[in-house]
Structure 1
């Protein structure tokens, strides 16, 4: 059986006398590993009330991921797409090229006559996170009975809360879900069925979509193209800094 490196790729056997010899695979794979930096994008959206089949959204992103995996063969895509009755929460973990491709696809979807995604905002962008929250990409369509109400959400409804509090609430719930997945080794869909308190409440998504501090995909792409306006604060927990142009 061939030896594997830390990422699961085969390590070519070398004669001790050829210890300093570098193969073409070493050169190419080494350059690829240096180029790929993991990023995490969290995106939220409002869905049309008359959306006939929400599974179409899941199928759309499955196909998009398939096409992107063929184009960027080294860039592994992980994440979770939660499709609520009226909202969407999408976490994508991959390279910058993959993430910008997903945002460009959102732009195309919003330009179609029958828009599937209405208002779309970038909730969070983490540059070079220490670890992935998910081991693969999957999606789940949530039923109305799974969107639970709890005291914490009641507080968010009754009191004036900062955008930092709302964002941190989402990030904390996703971290707890990730820890649960790591322990159970189950798929996110089954874990959320058993522990619905790990579902980000749609009321929080509604509140966040109404905040002007969060960028739309188009605003982000415009900023991305303009090297003079790139914010160096990506990955910070303060969205005012995170999404502000310098």
Structure 2
């Protein structure tokens, strides 16, 4: 009987005890997304863009305006989904690079650092075709850089300025220019030397259609290096003059 009275007393005490309430989660505090989920990647790139803009503002080279807004909104990983990172050690020869690809989740953290870090981005190896490149290592030969920010960034990026100049001078859109580069293997159509920072491409057009420096866009012939473009200009685009020059040179061989 005593045991029964004790059990009844314990049960009564439990029934009268206040219920424990569970505090609901704060909906305004979402859980952090894993780094390689779409949400995590988006958060990383947004933070990288904001850090890049803040850095440019701190150094005094970027002011409020459309350029700042563009830097905050443009996704560089879409414009440049592939880039090279140098892997060789100091003094090692030949130099080695790895081509990173945004399509590979394992490459994304390193690509974010490359694209938004403020340094030049390595974009092309030895004049290779940019489209359809296979991810992996490269070695030797030359690498082409593209600057991702300029000290005079408030005046616009170099790529955009070049696109605007070619559109005004030759009537070519950026996709037309890239198509010509691709068709020519990023090399001069005359001498075959690859374009690089110290050997930039020049748009060549038929001066019998459009005398002078500007083109209507219909008479653009291709891309030449500065030397070959100047050479054709010196010969006034005359096939007869060029043949005579070849005959002259051959006569001394």
Q: TM-score, normalised by structure 2?
A: 0.24
Q: TM-score, normalised by structure 1?
A: 0.24
Greater relative CO (CA pairs within 8 A, separation 6+)? 1
Structure showing greater radius of gyration is 2
Q: Could you say which structure has the higher helix fraction?
A: 1
